[in-house]
Amino acid sequence: MCFWRKKKTIKEKVVNDIDLIKANAQAIDVLVVYAQGQEGLTKKLLELQEKIKYLNPSEDEKIQHLDKKIGDKLGDAKIALSKYSQKGNFEGWERVTAELEIAIAERKAKLI
């Protein structure tokens, strides 16, 4: 058994973060489908997608953890919007987008 593993290079860490950022930006496309017919929500989601898309990648593991946290919030948003769309009632979507905005702001603040 080998207990050591090769440490990731800085380039590998940055590429990993780029992949996380791309996945998060693409996850918004699914949310837009769930929000179909809700102009305000769709507009807000597309604004969030632009914010996510242009985040600077980083080799810092703390920043990558925050990117994973954003991905988790997007998963939660997908579940919430799925329920809202099934009911036909989108009341409460502001809370979902607010949580995403907070996670993005927290990530941007750590990068500075």
pLDDT tens across 28-59, in order? 999 999 998 889 999 999 999 999 999 999 99
Distance, in Å, from the CA atom of 5 to the CA atom of 31, rounded to the nearest integer, reads 38
Counting residues of the chain whose pLDDT is more than 90, the rounded percentage is 69
Q: Is the pLDDT of residue 77 over 70?
A: yes
CA distance from start to end of the chain = 41
Q: In degrees, to the nearest 5, what angle opens at C-alpha 50 toward C-alphas 30 and 108? A: 115
Q: What is the pTM of this model?
A: 0.88
